[in-house]
Structures are given as C-alpha cells and as structure tokens.
Structure 1
C-alpha cells in the first residue's frame, strides 16, 4: 500500500510498472473506479496486473471518500474529483498525457479531465459510464437519493445479504456510511457539466457497454459527436462489465491503448 499527498487529500495509490515497457516507453494508464461500493481493488484484481505484464505503466487510486483515501465531509462535485486526479498525476510525477480508463462514475471523471485538461489526456476509455452532461446530473441525483434512503434501512441490507451475499452487503454498508457522513449525494448532482454535444472532448474515446445495460443506448450519440470514437457492446451483459467480462475487456482496452499510443507517437 502507498499513500501520497495530493492536494488536500492523503490518497491511496497503487502503481504497477512493467519490467519490459511496451515499445520501450510504456504508455501510462490511469484507472478510475466507480462510486460508493467500488475502490481501486476492482482494477488491482482484474486488468491492472495483466496490463503491467504486457508493458503498460498502470496507476490506480482510491477516489476521495473511498477506500483508504481521505474522506472529507464535503467537496464531492465532479470538478473536485477531476482536480484530485490532476493532483495525483502531479504527485506521481506523471507529466505526459495518460490513457484514462474509467468504470461507471470513473468514466465521468475521465470525461471531465479530458474536457478540463486536454493536455493531460491521451485517450479516454469508458466502461459502462456517461459523460457529465446536464442529463447525467439528473440520473445521478435520482440514483444517489434512492441509495441514501434505501441503504439506511436494515431490512434492505439484510435482503442484499440474502440475495447477493455477505460481501455485497458489506460493500452496501460501506456505501451507506459514505452517503450518511458526507455531502456526496447532494454535491454530485450540482457538478459542473459539459455540453451535450460533447464538443469539449477532443481526444480519442473508446467505450465499452453491456448489451443489457441502458447505458448502451449512448452508442449512436458517441459515434456521431466524438471524433475518433470506437464503441463495443458486449451481448448478454449488464453493468458489471469489468468484473464479469474481465478477459474480453482486458484484451479490448490493451489493444486500444497500444494502437492509440503508437499512432500518437508517429504523429509527434
């Protein structure tokens, strides 16, 4: 475990550097996890080690309020998460553009960074996520309000344990602690947004969705408005793409990062 000072936070990070860097100059992949029940562990036990073994420089960290990172009582607007990511890159002395892999809420952070700091982003990889548009704030407001109310009920946690197991129940209890002790449910829906036409995002984007997830409906919009966009929809798959389709996701993202890095290297 490693903790670094990044801005106002003590941030838990894990960095996996390759023994044999891809093409002699390992592309840096920064992994941003989802909200409430997630942490960097979802990458550490899935694609992180495989990427490092293939020559990528992998940086994972716990978001503010999550895992082993500081949990302030307030300050959970999306732009704060973006600022945290910049601070983590600075603290880790990562100066060249990175490939940001965002799962669920992490994808919104990745889009936010690409819009606010295009100089820091080589590409964005979206796993079952949304760009932070005005429509997104409505989705987040509804989902967070529902979670804050439901996860505070003991019977709901009991139902989760009975139907999804003790581990998921523990994660749900941890999510409830974040919701009840911070302003995250109120702050995220009040975040700064980007235009619905996604014109603020100018880097290459690769998006992976589950075919049974409602988020896959974004594919035509992405392909219309994002230059250099690639999309993949995995059939018979819901929201838990990273965990349930790890091998496929690893192959897809590694190929994307490798090819994008090589193309960008030729252009420079």
Structure 2
C-alpha cells in the first residue's frame, strides 16, 4: 500500500495505490491499470475479484482509490470528470509508467479510461469497459439523473434508506450506501459530475486501441454496443446473459476469463455474446 501525491500545487490529491506484480520476480508482460466506479466503489472491487489472477498471469497490476473514495483523500470540491482523468495521468507519471497500458474500468472507471485515451491515445494499449460508456451527452444526462435520485432518495431520507438497505440488501450494502451518502453530503461531487465536459464522436475516434466492452444482458447499457462499435471499429462486445449492472461483483470468474484472454491477444476481440452462465463465485 502507498499514498501517492498527484502533484505539488493546490490541485494535488493523495491517492491510495496498490500494486501487484507477477510472482517469483518474473518481469511483467504488460501493465494493467484498474479503475473503479463512483460512490459505493473502491479498488477493493478489483482486489477481491480479478486483480490477483491478472498478476499471476504475468501482468503488473496498478489499482487505486479514486479521489473521494476508499482510503484516498476526499477534497471538498474538484469532482468533474476531467479531474479524475488528470489524476490518472499524473499518477502514471508519478509511478514512471510511460509505456502503453491496459486500462480496465468498471462503470465510471471506464469513462475515465476513455477520457484518458482521448488525451493520450499513444499511451493506451487497450481498454476494457465493464458496464460503461464514454462521456457522451447521453452519459451526462444519465449520470445527472442518478445523482438527482441519490440526493433526493438517499440524503433526503438517509436514516430510513439505510435501514431499508440493511434489512433488504444486507449490512455490507448499507455500509457502502452510508459511505456514498457521506461523500455526497460533504463534497461537491453531486454538483460537479453533472457539470463535466462531454466528448464528441470525432474526439472518440482518436482512440485507436482495441476495446473490449462487457455488459450484463439485463442492464440498461446493453443496447449501446452497436453504437460503440460504429464509433470505435476496434471494439468487440461481450453480453453476459442473466446479468445486470453489477457483473464484476456477481460474475467475477467469467470476467477473469475474459480479461485474461483479452490481455493475451488484445487485438483478437471477443464474441458478441456468450452462453448462459453457471453459478459463479469469486
């Protein structure tokens, strides 16, 4: 574990970083940077699912808690998408990781990955986007609606909401919701994210690397694969039957297999759909 400063000026933020290397001192075949989602997420969602297996397969794995999340610093303001992209940019510079990296993002983490690839297409070997989309106008509309609901439903009736979650979704889910409520209540994230800059299709076409897009068949995002493939011809899509938005947590074994195959042959793509999943466990 390490705490890394992203800069030396007033916009510096301390990020909690974890790195996993291949066993037995083997040199890594590539570097994978794992990016988590917003509010209830942290690097733990990667650490306890696929990260150790990626390292065992020969990858150098870098994970970090994004600003405001997990053990990273929680500034009062500065939560527009560009700030998260700049954090990734500066962190890689601080870690002296200059070669092309595989960016693997869950939900908002993949939106950050796309933003970084638009800025630095030459520094990205590939993007794996799990239940995510780039920062288009439709993304901004959707995420703004999510934050309106969070503010109205969670903060507006916090005690009742947390009690309901504890009773119906378990204590762990309630704890995550409590952390999310604190982040929204004590920072400007609910105002900043909806004010983020979007990217155009022309800007997205700067992304030349292979893209693996993974969706749950029951997710609201599952219908966008045709559009993403039309904008980024290097995109291949996997749709997981019987899964919703939380595919990383609920189907980790399958995600591991997809990522390991993809990093070995990133240009080979992936099938448009797979057979129904059997019961899965971390």
TM norm structure 2: 0.89
Tell me the alpha carbon deviations over residues 142-183 of structure 1, each in whole angstroms, 9 at most, x when there is no partner. Answer: 101111221121111111111100111011010000001111
Distance in 2, matches of 1:225 and 1:262, equals: 18
| 1:58 equivalenced with 2:61 (yes/no) | yes
1:186 Cα offset (Å): 1.0
Partner of 1:248: 254
Q: Secondary structure at the match of 2:63?
A: strand
Partner of 2:2: 2
Distance in 2, matches of 1:227 and 1:66, equals: 33
Tell me the alpha carbon deviations over residues 197-226 of structure 1, each in whole angstroms, 9 at most, x when there is no partner. Answer: 632322211000000001011111112221
| 1:134 equivalenced with 2:140 (yes/no) | no
Distance in 2, matches of 1:66 and 1:242, equals: 18
| 1:89 equivalenced with 2:92 (yes/no) | yes
Contact preservation (8 Å) 1:20, 1:55: no
Tell me the alpha carbon deviations over residues 27-64 of structure 1, each in whole angstroms, 9 at most, x when there is no partner. Answer: 10000000000000000101000110111110000000
Partner of 1:215: 221
227-236 or 195-204, which moves further after superposition? 195-204
Distance in 1, matches of 2:94 and 2:100, equals: 15
The alignment's C-alpha RMSD in Å is 1.7
Distance in 2, matches of 1:108 and 1:74, equals: 20
Partner of 2:230: 224
Distance in 2, matches of 1:247 and 1:11, equals: 28
Distance in 1, matches of 2:181 and 2:2, equals: 26
Structure with more helix by fraction:
1
Structure 1: unaligned runs, 5 residues or longer: 264-268
Partner of 2:195: 190
TM norm structure 1: 0.94
Q: Secondary structure at the match of 1:223?
A: helix
Structure 2: unaligned runs, 5 residues or longer: 270-282
Distance in 1, matches of 2:183 and 2:101, equals: 29
1:118-129 alignment runs, 5 A limit: 118-129=121-132
Partner of 2:274: none
Distance in 1, matches of 2:13 and 2:139, equals: 26
The number of aligned residues is 262
Distance in 2, matches of 1:21 and 1:221, equals: 42
